[in-house]
Copies of this chain bind each other. A is one copy, B any other.
Amino acid sequence: MSEIQSFKRVLMGPGPSDVDTRVLDAMGRPTIGHLDPTFLDMLNEIKSLLQYTFQTKNELTFAVSGTGSAGMETCVVNLIEPGDSMLVCVNGVFGERMADVASRCGANVQRLDIEWGTAFDPQQIKDALKEHPAKVVGVVHAETSTGVGQPLEELSQIIHDAGALLLVDTVTSLGGMKVDVDGWQIDACYSGTQKCLSCPPGLAPVTFSPAAVDIINHRKTKVQSWYLDTTMIKKYWESARLYHHTAPINLNYALLESLKIVKQEGLEPRWARHLKNHKILKAGLSALGIQYVSQKGYELPMLNAVAILQGVDDVTVRKQLLNQFRIEIGSGLGKFKGKAWRIGLMGSSCSISNVLLFLSALEACLVEQNKTFEKGISIAAAIKEMNRN
């Protein structure tokens, strides 16, 4: 395999998604200093475009110099002090992860576990908070391991009525479906760059509400992580421009360019594009008898978690997709390992062309797995759905 061929991929997994050449070109510009006036201007632009993307006026909005999981850890370690109570809503791998992160920083963690693939009923959160009042409630907006989207508006009301802060994981949702930080009164929120923003991985956009900042400013103990301490990092992102650590310069070039693309498309058209392509994919998969593992009505547009058909070999199909068609999809994660596929339609990867290509390729793979179906049936269903709107 030549080196050039080996980089040719259609990224339809749980992230990273395909990166636009505009973003790759921006990233390849010469590196300049982290205190260079030109770079500091770029940080201002990034902040402003992140505020737009998060739909917030929060002053403390920036990109953590690490991946989405570093964003999660940033939110948790800044809000939590040893002994603080935190309720973590767990219905997949990323809820599990948040509970782990919280316990490592000394939180008194209460887990609210429900079946993987389902969404939380607001009443469940209300009951849990009555039994165990919490300082912070952690919720995953788009659970990448199960493909479930969690509605947040009603939850937010309940959580704030109980006097808690709402911490939300929007790693997979940001830029692909509605995320309204101010409208939903989210207090702390983190994301990743390599999902619906279609920027290479390595940065984690975060935002903190004034209430969250107030809590952080009145901590009795230092934030346990020096690297992720927002009380210091903000002095670099704000006008003081105090050196904290050397920002990943070129990744920030890439993030700026990808956020410009988001702004140019507009949030609502972008969300609509993700939803439309999801429906088309779903129609095609359905024609093949493939079902979602996510609760009906809560399926994420950008992350389609589906049950692997009986008699079909997980690894063989994913290898054929990758080697013959250059398409990457994701395996099942955690409890869904070997049982589900995760088909991503994120950012630049979310196109009608990719949906049709994927369905055609999948049909070819299923034939090899001795599955019988009318050839082209998924494409026919997809085209029908495509023309419905």
Query: Which residues on A are within 8 Å of B, measured CB to CB?
Result: 1, 6-9, 11, 13, 15-16, 18-19, 24-25, 27-34, 36, 38, 65-70, 72-73, 97, 100-101, 103-105, 192, 194, 200-202, 222-227, 243-251, 254, 322, 328, 333
Contact = CB atoms under 8 A, between A and B. Distances in A.
A202 B32 contact: no
Contacts of A67: 65, 245-248
Contacts of A254: 250
Given A202-B65, A245-B69, A104 B251 contact: no
B328 A36 contact: yes
Given A201-B246, A248-B202, A227 B28 contact: no
27 contacts: A7-B29, A7-B30, A7-B38, A11-B33, A16-B34, A16-B246, A19-B30, A31-B200, A33-B328, A34-B201, A65-B70, A66-B70, A66-B227, A69-B226, A69-B245, A73-B226, A73-B227, A104-B222, A104-B224, A104-B225, A200-B249, A200-B250, A200-B251, A202-B250, A224-B225, A243-B333, A250-B251
A42 to B, nearest CB: 10
A16 B16 CA distance: 26
A249 B16 CA distance: 9
B9 A36 contact: yes
A266 to B, nearest CB: 24
Contacts of A192: 246
Q: Which secondary structure characterizes the binding site on chain A?
A: loop
B28 A27 contact: yes
Nearest to A198: B31
Contact of A97 (B11, B25, B226): B226
Given A69-B226, A70-B227, 6 more contacts: A11-B31, A18-B31, A24-B30, A200-B248, A201-B247, A250-B254
B68 A65 contact: no
A32 B15 contact: no
B27 A9 contact: no
Given A34-B16, A105-B224, A246 B68 contact: yes
**Which of A29, A73, A225, A246 counts the most chain B CB atoms within 10 A?**
A246
Contacts of A245: 67-70
B226 A104 contact: yes
Contacts of A194: 31, 246, 249
A104 B339 CA distance: 42
Contact of A30 (B8, B34, B224): B8
